[in-house]
């Protein structure tokens, strides 16, 4: 009987509904300090445009750059009048990946700096990309790929996307590496993307349970410090690979994000409301003028006059009622209750702020 009873209990336990817990990988919750990208920027010229480049009279920096480039190539144009419209001054931006090796390539973005109409069909000339320390880390060059376009005639113009911004896949060649010896570190720091005391403590506990020793601790809401165990010395990549895959339930404080310009409202799942009554309605008074012309009878000495006619209408919107929001309702119940009152996003923003002022909303409101 025991041989059949144990498998039966296991099968029944698998059929029972289990609580749904949103677990996330540590890899998605935190970043490893020191493993990051570095921003690069450069100034260059795009040539080969079909008359859509900068106007040299309106963009003196383009003319100066063109003259300097031609002089480096042995062409003297000092004092000459340049009228080409096939050249555009651009800013080149890129993100240098972490641990990028010398000789590898990365993507770049090219943006017009002057009054160029389009960069379509252009070619970026050799452009050094500088870091924050003014050192050259990469060199960019290549043909641009433009997603947008512009076309115009005598009486109409059509523009799709942004034709003055383009990308060059693998358009930059890395010339200098950013040195960071990860394997030589005695400890690492995990930086939480959304700082929170509870989440940091759960991450430290998950790491300690996995390693079997207290090697990690939450230093603050945004940082978890982890010492490298002796059995993982020299194998930092293996340790971080194992730690990244550990799953933790993140926790965040209840927040409501409001963008008043677009009327967007985003609420967290932990938003709660105490018992409160909500009413929403508008008194609309509309006044319309419809003057009437009065003409005298035929062969009379009367005059034509205009008689005023005014219509006044008052709309109290009687369909709106006072609604009661229950104690500690969930996010779904709160939204359903406000929607039942016929409240739009704009009015909902005002109501949420009023509920917060009344002390009945247990959440932080952040206005973008």
Between residues 91 and 330, the one the model is more confident about: 91
Residue 290 vs residue 212, higher pLDDT: 212
pLDDT of 283 reads 44
pLDDT value at residue 284: 46
Mean per-residue pLDDT, 83-103: 92
What is the spatial distance between Cα 131 and Cα 237, in angstroms, rounded to a whole number? 27
Q: Is 216 helix (H, G, I), strand (E, B) or coil?
A: strand
pLDDT at 282 > cutoff 60:
no
Picking from 32-46, 115-129, 140-154, which range would have the lowest pLDDT averaged per residue? 140-154
Please state, in angstroms and rounded to a whole number, the distance separating the CA atoms of residues 53 and 164.
Answer: 10
What pLDDT band is residue 130 in, cutting at 50, 70 and 90?
very high
Q: What is the pLDDT of residue 17?
A: 47
Give me the pLDDT at residue 60, please.
87
What is the residue-wise DSSP string for 266-307?
EE-TT-EE-SEEE-----EEEEEE--EEE-PPTT-S---EEE
Position of tokens 């080969």? 48
Q: Determine how β-strand 255-259 pairs with β-strand 364-367.
A: parallel
What confidence score (pLDDT) does residue 318 get?
A: 52
Condensed to tens digits (0 to 9), the pLDDT of residues 311-332 reads 656 455 555 555 555 555 665 6
What is the per-residue pLDDT for 10?
46
Mean pLDDT, the chain, integer: 80
Q: What is the reported pLDDT for 187?
A: 85
With a pLDDT cut of 70, the percent of the chain lying above it is: 74
Instruction: Please name every residue paired with 87 in a beta bridge, in sequence order, or none if there are none.
Output: 47
Burial 204-225 (b: 16+ CB within 10 A, else e): bebbeeebeeebbbbeeebbbb
Q: Where are the alpha helices (DSSP H) in 154-261?
A: 197-211, 236-244
* pLDDT for residue 135: 94
Report whether pLDDT(301) > 60: yes
Which of 32, 18, 19, 25 is CA-nearest to residue 250?
25
Q: What pLDDT shows up at residue 161?
A: 76
Which pLDDT does position 46 carry in this prediction?
A: 95
In the structure, what pLDDT confidence band is assigned to residue 72 with cuts at 50, 70 and 90? confident
**Which helix or strand (DSSP H or E) is residue 263 part of?**
none
* More confident call, 88 vs 268: 88
Q: Identify the band that residue 348 occupies on the pLDDT scale cut at 50, 70 and 90.
A: confident
Residues whose CB falls within 8 Å of the CB of residue 1, separated by 6 or more in sequence, listed in order: none
Q: How far apart (Å, rounded) are the C-alpha atoms in residues 24 and 37?
A: 23
Beta-sheet strands, E only, within 33-130: 38-47, 87-96, 105-112, 123-130
Cβ contact 200:220 at 8 Å: yes
pLDDT at 5 over 60: no
To the nearest whole percent, how much of the chain has pLDDT over 90? 33
Helices (H), 32-132: 60-72
Q: 148 or 352, which is more confident?
A: 352
């Amino acid at each position: 009987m025991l041989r059949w009873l144990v498998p039966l209990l296991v099968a029944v336990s698998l059929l029972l509904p289990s609580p749904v817990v949103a677990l996330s990988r540590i890899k998605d919750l935190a970043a490893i300090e020191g493993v990051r990208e570095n921003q690069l920027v450069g100034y260059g010229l795009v040539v080969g445009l079909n008359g859509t480049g900068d106007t040299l009279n309106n963009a003196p920096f383009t003319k100066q750059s063109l003259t300097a480039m031609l002089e480096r190539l042995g062409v003297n144009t000092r004092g000459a009048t340049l009228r080409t419209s096939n050249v555009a001054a651009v800013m080149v931006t890129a993100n240098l990946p972490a641990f990028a090796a010398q000789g590898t390539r990365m993507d770049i973005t090219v943006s017009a700096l002057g009054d160029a109409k389009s960069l379509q069909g252009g070619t970026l000339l050799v452009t050094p990309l500088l870091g924050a320390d003014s050192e050259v880390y990469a060199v960019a060059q290549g043909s641009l790929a433009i997603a947008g376009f512009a076309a115009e005639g005598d009486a109409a113009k059509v523009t799709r996307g942004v034709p003055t911004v383009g990308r060059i896949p693998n358009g930059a060649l890395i010339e200098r590496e950013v040195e960071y010896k990860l394997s030589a570190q005695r400890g690492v720091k995990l930086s939480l993307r959304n700082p929170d005391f509870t989440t940091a403590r759960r991450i430290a506990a998950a790491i300690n349970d996995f390693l079997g020793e207290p090697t990690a601790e939450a230093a603050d809401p945004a940082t978890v410090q982890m010492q490298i165990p002796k059995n993982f010395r020299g194998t930092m990549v293996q340790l971080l690979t194992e730690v990244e895959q550990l799953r933790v339930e993140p926790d965040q404080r209840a927040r409501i994000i409001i963008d008043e310009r677009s009327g967007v409202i985003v609420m967290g799942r932990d938003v709660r409301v105490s018992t409160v009554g909500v009413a929403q309605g508008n008194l609309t008074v509309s006044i319309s003028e419809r003057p009437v012309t009065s003409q005298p009878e035929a062969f009379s000495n009367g005059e034509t006059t205009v008689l005023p006619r005014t219509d006044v209408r008052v709309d109290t919107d009687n369909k709106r009622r006072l609604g009661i929001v229950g104690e500690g309702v969930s996010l779904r119940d709160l939204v359903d209750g406000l929607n039942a009152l016929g409240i739009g996003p704009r009015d909902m923003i005002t109501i949420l702020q009023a509920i917060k002022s009344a002390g009945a909303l247990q959440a932080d409101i952040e206005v973008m």
